[in-house]
A and B are shown apart, each in its own frame.
Chain A
């Protein structure tokens, strides 16, 4: 199974400041098709997860452009350029290249300092 490792596991950021979450996989996530099936999700308190990014860098419709995904191979990053109050929650990376199983990172909890 592909192991997804996120860091840090918690993050406290002042409003308006930048935040960065790392996600590393135990093997390359480049699929034989050339796609990289790496997704980022946000789960706000008391809510279901919401996908922010798919294919490692493509922002979902309606996701603010302060969110960006980058990286390749086995090393990925979610960046938030200016943190807002609504960004609080737990962020998960997930790989869909080598399945089954699909595997998630442990989650990174973001709160406002």
Chain B
């Protein structure tokens, strides 16, 4: 059974940092790109970032503006999202998801990030 589990969310002040992590099991992790997608409570889904299967290529949504960095460790089946200079608008549930036949073949339960003073 495929499982993805995110962790690292929490309450942080504006301007602060958080590092999210996602561990995958039962999944051919090292042959697929991975993504982070977020959802503001009560709102729709918003793509954040993608990393290639070998970790050499990363792409980001414009709103990231150089504040977030995605990385992966294929030996550990993990994908991380380092988030710096957090803003209130970054408050959301963050999901990691795979990319077999395009984005979204498997999803974790999400981790909640709250940016507030």
CA distance A54 to B105 in the complex (A): 9
Is A92 touching B105 in the complex (CB atoms < 8 A)?
no
Nearest to B46 among chain A residues (CB) is: A104
Segment at the B interface, from A13-21, A45-53, A79-87: A45-53
Contact residues, B16-53 vs A (CB, 8 A): 35, 44-47, 50
- When chains A and B are docked, how far (Å) is the Cα of A50 from the Cα of B107? 7
B2, chain A: closest CB distance, angstroms = 11
Min CB gap A64→B, angstroms: 18
- Collect the chain A residues with CB atoms within 8 Å of residue B59's CB: 99-100
Q: Is the CB of B102 within 8 A of A48?
A: no
Supposing A92-B45, A100-B61, A101-B61 touch, asked if A41 and B101 sit within 8 A by C-beta, the answer is no
Of B45, B50, B101, B110, the residue contacting A100 (CB under 8 A) is B50
Interfacial chain B residues near A48, Cβ < 8 Å: 95, 107-110
B47 interface neighbour in A54, A103, A105, A107, Cβ under 8 Å = A103
> Across the interface, do B60 and A107 meet the contact criterion of CB distance under 8 Å?
no
Chain B: CB-nearest residue to A41: B104
A interface size (C-beta, 8 A): 24
Q: Quick check: is A55 within 8 A (CB to CB) of the other chain?
A: yes
Interface centre among B47, B102, B110 (most CB of A within 10 A): B102
Chain A positions near chain B (C-beta within 8 angstroms): 37, 39, 41, 43, 48-51, 54-55, 58, 60, 92, 94, 96, 99-107
A-B contact pairs, 29 of them (CB 8 A): A37-B102, A39-B102, A39-B103, A41-B104, A48-B95, A48-B107, A48-B109, A48-B110, A49-B45, A49-B104, A54-B102, A55-B102, A58-B101, A60-B105, A92-B45, A94-B103, A94-B104, A99-B47, A100-B47, A100-B50, A100-B59, A100-B60, A102-B35, A102-B47, A103-B47, A105-B44, A106-B44, A107-B44, A107-B45
